Amino acid sequence: MLIHRILAAIILIPIVILTLFFAPLSLFTYIMIFICGLAAFEWSQFLAITQKPQRVIFALVVIILLSLLCLLPIPVVVKLKLYSGVLLLSLCWWLVALFLVLTYPNTAKYWRGSITAKLIFAFFTLVPFFIGMIELRMINYSANTYTGAYCLLYVFILVWATDTGAYFVGRSMGKRKLAPKVSPGKTLEGFIGGVIVAVVISFIAYFTGFISINLTSFIMSSLFAIFASALGDLTESMFKREAGIKDSGNLISGHGGILDRIDSLTAAVPIFAALSFNLF
């Protein structure tokens, strides 16, 4: 398992950094639409869609929806307000997700048979993630094309630090289960260790000038993004458990699918974006 994590990091991290810093905004947007399309293809399993043609159709619907969000001929101010509204609504969704994870499997009976509920879950997982990625990448883009890239890289590092810290602390010290009915392998000690590692990195990032933002907004956005990264992981684990699958896909050999790689980001990115744009 550890060797798979190391190999995936060696391959994926350089690709992520190259995309963040060197892909023009338009190309970056298309890449994100494609990634969200792949994630939607995997998400279709949670909707009990098993036939590949139907799964492809669902993915194409999501791709068209995200493309329309970018290409709709509406004033920029209106589009930004729309984006902001979706990001703020995503805060409500992740509060709901937290409740569902904490009460699983008792409350699953209210949504496991509802296609409508699962479609809403899919919308508020994938669409705010996409908007958050684009909004953060666009920060100060006309003056400095790298500002948003640094901001996104910071959020990615928080998520990677939380995950890595939780993995190593959990393996060495983990005893008490964090959410045994959702993901038995995760421990409370691992979660606390991951949070501590990410918090230390966030303070280093701020005081070294890696990211420039109001201190209060920075602290609140970072802390909630750190907690959200763990929630995103647990939420996808809950959906996979309901669907009776171990991995969302097999795109990355021995390391799962796209959703398995971005599950933490789907929560951390929109929450960081919503709070950093709307606090103070």
Tokens, residue 279: 């606090």
Residue 251: the pLDDT is: 65
Residue reference for tokens 């139907």: 54
What does the alpha-carbon distance between residue 95 and residue 153 come to, in Å, rounded to a whole number?
A: 25
Q: What is the mean pLDDT of each run of 10 residues along the chain (280 residues)?
A: 63 87 95 96 93 96 95 86 94 97 96 95 97 95 93 95 93 92 94 96 88 84 96 96 85 72 95 86
Residue 5: the pLDDT is: 61
Question: Contact 261/81 with Cβ under 8 angstroms?
Answer: no
Residue 181: the pLDDT is: 94
Tokens, residue 166: 């939780």
Residue 4: the pLDDT is: 61
What does the alpha-carbon distance between residue 210 and residue 206 come to, in Å, rounded to a whole number?
A: 6
Q: What are phi and psi of 185, to 5 degrees?
A: -80, -15
Q: At residue 87, what is the residue type?
A: L
Tokens, residue 238: 């809950």
What does the alpha-carbon distance between residue 186 and residue 242 come to, in Å, rounded to a whole number?
A: 18
